[in-house]
Amino acid sequence: MSEVIYNSETGVNHHQYRKHKIFEVNEKEENKVIDRKDAKLVMAHMYVAIVCLIIGGLAGLVQTLVRSGTLKLPAGIGYYQILTVHGIILALVLTTFFIMGFQISAISRTTGPLSGLSRRLGWIGFWVMLIGTAMAATMVLLNKATVLYTFYAPLQAHVIFYIGMALVIVGSWISAAGQMMGYFRWRKEHPGQKTPLISYMATINNVMWIVCSIGVALTVLLQMIPWSLGLVDRIDVTLSRTLFWYFGHALVYFWLLPAYMSWYAVVPKIIGTKAFSDNLARFAFMLFLFFSIPVGIHHQLVEPGIDVTWKYVQVVLTFMVVIPSLMTAFSLFATFETYGRKTGAKGLLGWLKTLPWNDARFVLPFIGMAAFIPGGAGGLVNASAQMDQVVHNTIWITGHFHLTVATAVILTFFGTMYWLIPHCTGRVLTKQLNKLALIQGYMWAIGMSIMSGAMHFIGLFGAPRRSTYSEYGGSKVAAEWIPYQIIQAVGGTILFISIILVVIIFIRLAFFAPKGHEPYPIATAMDEHLPTTKLVENWKFLIIVTIALILIAYTIPVSQMFIDPPPGAKGFGEGKLW
Ligand code: HAS
Ligand code: CU
């Protein structure tokens, strides 16, 4: 069977560089192109994402240099200001724009062109998010919102910052509504049929996002904005942090699930095989919806004001949310191994050799998966309450989330961009750009291993996150951290060079690569012919269970926050209000 995808219309053989042998070419599927108007909407999101990458990446480089003492910031710019830019622009803005763009593309590709209303909602959502971003960014640049991406009270920002952040969220709701309409329309038009897997996954992610972001919207609207305007002079810090983390853990899954969409529904097609199981994937996503939200208190394990029983309950729920990730790992290994054995691989790990190591669309997500093994293991350490006492607020945590969101997720996003951008712009990922993309991915792997490795290591010795050496000026213990800060800066520099490569590849793919057809890979599953388990697409059931779990996990601890002094806070002083 030929490994080359030849497009008769354009005459382009653009995957000749692939060496692996089995490739199931379904001409009709392969040639499907998403609607041009939808492609434009997707690209609008991608342009914002790439601008964010440049700004946020530069801020990251500057941070590692400042922390290691190699750079002094000029013109009164503060370290925390740069840290705020880095966190907000990359973790909140880049991710949201990429995810919305990618999900729109996935819905359009699998359920057909968006309806006029869906597309309009997509554009309105896009502009509302962009205006919100501009408002928040302006305040951060003016040093009037140096509050980090978690905007913990009592750090206070200008009211325009909070309104801007609220608009980003409202914009994403509008966009999510448009996407969900596509999924539900398809379902209505195809009664009794299995919905396309990736459209189901995008819908789960959107529902989860809407339910969780209500928490952050509440703290912003009811607490932060009145306080920032001076209408009230105090703010309940415990409550605001709890509402933030009700949102915050689901936020990290809002980043992860689109990467999982690609791992389950795209990557198998790229390597030329079928996904292990459609049913298992849907089941895992259902569990993510259930268990991503009622676990936020695992970010507050060392905080006063929350009863230890409820911390325990949420730790148990956190270990529940690990299960669908373990299912994902199992499913991926099964996909890869089944493919490998088909091509004649022998032995325990022989299948690894048969994977398409010369195809960046596969290699980048794969590096992401590999990084997620130590990244996930670190998460288990954090979630284990006793061990969290050691690592909380140390730079170990920074190491953890640079393996998860900043490698597993973002490398998958880059790998996705490398076919999605040319697909939308009617160009192809050339052999040369593919090679550059491979170099970019490997540089990321090297840079991040160095940086995140050093962060994990020195975190165990108590090096704090979110602070600079100069704050600990001259202390003996801080001096011991310095070599590791320098190692981090070396890793950070390699990462920055990798970011420059991403930008070069992006620009080439968007504007200069040869015209042609780059496929939008969508895999079928080995159990494609089997019906789905009814429950996973019973939205009433899904939403009832989701809300019930939230109520179980949060009703009592939140109501206890209104009691003074809060249970479990004895010994921490009165501590309820600032
Ligand atoms: Fe986390 C803190 C617990 C996953 C992000 N996390 C953070 C923060 C961020 C973050 C940003 O319980 C900092 C927040 C802040 O600013 O304060 N995290 C977990 C747990 C998981 C987890 C239990 N985190 C993530 C993901 C993130 C993310 C995903 C972003 C995308 N995290 C915590 C806790 C804290 C925390 C505490 C608070 C700590 C503190 O003290 O402040 C789990 O869900 C992880 C489960 C994952 C696995 C891995 C499965 C592996 C797979 C890959 C298979 C690979 C293959 C390739 C097939 C069990 C699916 C084969 C490869 C070969 C090489 C052969
Ligand atoms: Cu979490």
Alpha carbon distance, N-terminus to C-terminus of the chain: 69
In order of their start, the domains of the chain are 15-563 (1.20.210.10)
Q: What is the pLDDT of residues 363-394, one digit of tens each?
A: 999 999 999 999 999 999 999 999 999 999 99
pLDDT at 463: 86
Backbone angles phi, psi at 6, to 5 degrees: -110, 130
Residue 567, pLDDT above cutoff 70: no
Q: Predicted confidence band at 572 (pLDDT cuts at 50, 70, 90)?
A: very low
Annotated active-site residue in 400, 423, 456, 508: 400
Q: Mean pLDDT over residues 459-476, rounded? A: 75
Residue 56 CA to chain centroid, in angstroms? 15
Residue type, 417: M
Residue 474, pLDDT above cutoff 70: no
Residues ≥6 apart with Cβ < 8 Å to 238: 303, 304, 305, 306, 561, 566, 575, 576
Q: Token pair 């994403």 is at which residue? A: 172
Residue type, 371: A
pLDDT at 5: 43
Q: What is the pLDDT of residues 111-126, one digit of tens each?
A: 999 999 999 999 999 9
Residue 15, pLDDT above cutoff 70: no
| Residues in the 5 Å CB sphere of ion ligand 2 | 249
Residue 285 CA to chain centroid, in angstroms? 15
Catalytic residue check, 253:
yes
Q: CA 481 to CA 272: how far, in whole Å?
A: 47
Ligand 1 first shell, C-beta below 6 A: 150, 252, 255-256, 298-299, 318, 321-322, 325-326, 328-329, 332-333, 369-370, 372-373, 376, 379-380, 382-383, 388, 392, 397, 400-401, 404-405, 409
pLDDT at 7: 43
- Verify cis geometry, omega within 30 degrees of 0, for the bond prior to 374: no
In 384-475, where does DSSP find H-type helix? 385-391, 395-403, 410-425, 431-459
Q: CA 183 to CA 176: how far, in whole Å?
A: 11
Q: What is the pLDDT of residues 297-307, one digit of tens each?
A: 999 999 888 88
Residue 464 pairs in a beta bridge with 394
Q: Predicted confidence band at 1 (pLDDT cuts at 50, 70, 90)?
A: very low
Which among 92, 61, 107, 90 has a CA at the least distance from the CA of 168? 92
Residue 84, pLDDT above cutoff 60: yes
Q: Mean pLDDT over residues 153-162, rounded? A: 93
Q: Predicted confidence band at 462 (pLDDT cuts at 50, 70, 90)?
A: confident
Q: Which residue has the higher pLDDT, 80 or 5?
A: 80
pLDDT at 478: 73
Q: Which residue has the higher pLDDT, 70 or 61?
A: 61
Q: Predicted confidence band at 398 (pLDDT cuts at 50, 70, 90)?
A: very high
Q: Predicted confidence band at 282 (pLDDT cuts at 50, 70, 90)?
A: very high
Residue 546 CA to chain centroid, in angstroms? 21
Q: Predicted confidence band at 534 (pLDDT cuts at 50, 70, 90)?
A: confident
Ligand 1 centroid, distance to 252 Cα (angstroms): 8
pLDDT at 113: 95
Of 267, 298, 314, 357, the one to substitute when testing ligand 1's pocket (max ligand atoms within 8 A of C-beta) is: 298
- Give the number of other Cβ atoms within 10 Å of residue 250's Cβ: 28
Of the ligands numbered here, which is closest to the C-alpha atom of 302? 1
Gyration radius from the chain CA atoms: 23
Of the ligands numbered here, which is closest to the C-alpha atom of 337? 1
Q: Mean pLDDT over residues 346-361, rounded? A: 92
Convert 177-203 to b/e letters by CB count within 10 Å (16 or more is b): bbbbbbbebbbeeeeeebbbbbbbbbb
* Neighbour-count burial of 105, counting CB atoms closer than 10 A to its CB (0-12 exposed, 13-18 middle, 19+ buried): buried
Catalytic residue check, 400:
yes
In ligand 1, the atom with minimum distance to the C-alpha of 301 is 41
CB 505 within 8 A of CB 433: yes
Residue type, 176: A
Percent of the chain clearing pLDDT 90 (strictly above): 73
Long-range pairs of 228-237 with CB within 8 A, sequence gap ≥ 24: 228/156, 228/157, 228/158, 228/159, 228/162, 229/159, 234/577, 234/578, 235/153, 235/154, 235/577, 235/578, 236/561, 236/576, 236/577, 237/152, 237/153, 237/154, 237/577, 237/578
Residue 550, pLDDT above cutoff 60: yes
The first and second tokens of residue 515, run together, are: 């015209």
Ligand 1 centroid, distance to 374 Cα (angstroms): 9
Residue 3, pLDDT above cutoff 80: no
The first and second tokens of residue 529, run together, are: 């012919």
The first and second tokens of residue 316, run together, are: 């148990």
pLDDT at 470: 62
Q: CA 339 to CA 120: how far, in whole Å?
A: 41
- Secondary element (H or E) of residue 375: helix 360-383
Q: Mean pLDDT over residues 455-464, rounded? A: 90
Of 252, 257, 391, 442, the one to substitute when testing ligand 1's pocket (max ligand atoms within 8 A of C-beta) is: 252
Q: Predicted confidence band at 471 (pLDDT cuts at 50, 70, 90)?
A: low
Residue 554 CA to chain centroid, in angstroms? 24
Q: CA 472 to CA 75: how far, in whole Å?
A: 22
- Secondary element (H or E) of residue 159: helix 159-189
Q: CA 275 to CA 25: how far, in whole Å?
A: 15
CB 516 within 8 A of CB 427: yes
What integer best gives the mean pLDDT of the chain?
Answer: 89
pLDDT at 77: 82
Q: Predicted confidence band at 20 (pLDDT cuts at 50, 70, 90)?
A: very low
> How many residues appear in the chain?
578
- Give the number of other Cβ atoms within 10 Å of residue 301's Cβ: 22
Q: CA 510 to CA 46: how far, in whole Å?
A: 10
**Which residue has its alpha carbon closest to ligand 1 atom 60?**
329
Ligand 1 centroid, distance to 502 Cα (angstroms): 24
Which among 466, 560, 467 has a CA at the least distance from the CA of 238? 560
Q: CA 203 to CA 103: how far, in whole Å?
A: 9
Q: CA 189 to CA 177: how far, in whole Å?
A: 18
Of the ligands numbered here, which is closest to the C-alpha atom of 293? 2
Residue 161, pLDDT above cutoff 90: yes
Catalytic residue check, 6:
no
Q: Mean pLDDT over residues 449-454, rounded? A: 95
